[in-house]
Amino acid sequence: MRLFLQTKGCFGATVALGHFLRKLALVILKENDITGFRKPRRSLETFKKVGIPIIAVLLSLMAIVIVALLIKVVLDKYYFICGSPLTFLPREQVCDGRLDCASGEDEEHCVKDFPDKPGVAVRLSKDRSTLQVLDVATGTWASACFDNFTEALAKTACRQMGYDSQPTFRAVEIGPDWNLTVAQVTGNGQEFQVKNLTGPCHSLVSLSCLECGKSLKAPRIVGGVEASVDSWPWQVSIQYDKQHVCGGSILDPNWILTAAHCFRKYLDVSNWKVRVGSSKLDHVSSLSVAKIFVTKENALNSREKDIALVKLQVPLTFTGTVRPICLPFFDEELIPGTPLWVIGWGFTEQSGGKMSDVLLQASVQVIDSARCNAEDAYQGDVTAEMLCAGTLQGGVDSCQGDSGGPLMYHSNHWQIVGIVSWGYGCGSPTNPGVYTKVTAYLDWIYNVRKVSALVPWGALPPDISPKGMHPP
């Protein structure tokens, strides 16, 4: 695609230069029009002496420019240029996990592995979004008392989860059956200190770091039909060389949540783009990607840890068709039969065919993990970090091309509880879709966003490395 665009630019320059040469010839002829009687002969002689050499020089320059541009196109397509010393590196050696350039720039803008530890010392509960903090000294969790809780503390809590937006918080009553310790929370702007209460506490902190999970239009039609972006304003298309590869979900102005397996073949971040705000794949311009993080693969089960975060170069501006979806609460447990929604641009038939060019939506439900792991299904391959969803009669499911898209649950607001990951076929009653369980990776999501906000792109913490980096 880059070759087409640059060649098109060369053609445009050639046409423009041709117009210029014609105008130049007319000017030369006009300026040398001394007498009407001798005009043809004088004009022709002057054109031969002056115009032809000028045109020859300009044509030569044009040829040099075109050749230079074509050489650049070829070099960009097949080689990566190392800066110091100047070296032409074959493209297949870029993002291969080895530092081939002297300064390592061939591995700088690649998909990065990010560890899934340590844990984060704050979390939000599904009970009215109440804030819980970890007492590091004892290793126990406590609910934050509202007394003396400030906006600065709210910002600290949200920063721990990777948010940089303006939080809101309020007091909620402690229920009669509340069985978690309540503690006083203080902080230094970066971390919390948990202290024992010196008196009674009557209210807890209910915290919201970002307004999310709200759409302009509720979905009404069930079963693999066209969807409106007004219903799902967080859905994005993640594309490689302008071809749709995976879906994704907007978490905040900077970050898109998707599946790790989308990036296993193509590790060069510069070739990835994101399209937002449309239910059709070809109706909006694409956005550049700054960073892509994935979890380190589990050698025993390559389907595990199928989660990735994409950071945009320029933050999104939220509109009616571009909005974030909420992350789930840490204790959000979905029982079998819970209604869910899945959306995407994937294949509409199990045998393949072509990908849908409009966004499709389908209503599914949670399938019991024991049923998913039965002998006639996945035979134990579905782990505790995965979620099964579909319909008992089959026929409605996510499919190839839907990968990375959201599995959604609605409870006061829309939450992304799963990420389209894998499965056998599409729409089989015995083999429902398998999704990455988002609650299992909340700490990972929080850490990626938090660390990335503090560390420049080229400077990686010691335990973060380009994907597949070989030890020295």
Q: Is the peptide bond before 53 cis (omega within 30 degrees of 0)?
A: no
Is 261 among the catalytic positions?
yes
443 is catalytic: no
Distance in angstroms (rounded) separating the CA atoms of residues 433 and 435: 7
| Cα 359 from Cα 344, distance rounded (Å) | 5
Residue 65, number of CB atoms within 10 A of its CB: 14
Choice among 43, 109, 237, 261 that is catalytic: 261
- 368 catalytic per annotation: no
Q: Which two tokens stand for residue 435?
A: 């999704």
- The tokens describing 124, both together, are 């939000």
Among residues 106, 113, 306, 397, the one annotated as catalytic is 306
190-224 b/e (C-beta count within 10 Å ≥ 16 → b): eebebeeeeeebeebbbbbbbebbebeeebeeeeb
Cβ atoms of 256 and 276 closer than 8 Å: no
Segments in 337-441 forming alpha helices (H): 369-372
Dihedral class, residue 128 (left if φ above 0, else alpha if ψ from -120 to 50, else beta): left
Contact 274, 310 (CB under 8 A): yes
Set 215, 403, 421, 452: catalytic member:
403
What phi-psi label fits residue 432: left (phi over 0), alpha (psi between -120 and 50 degrees) or beta?
Answer: beta
Q: Which active-site residues does the annotation give?
A: 261, 306, 403
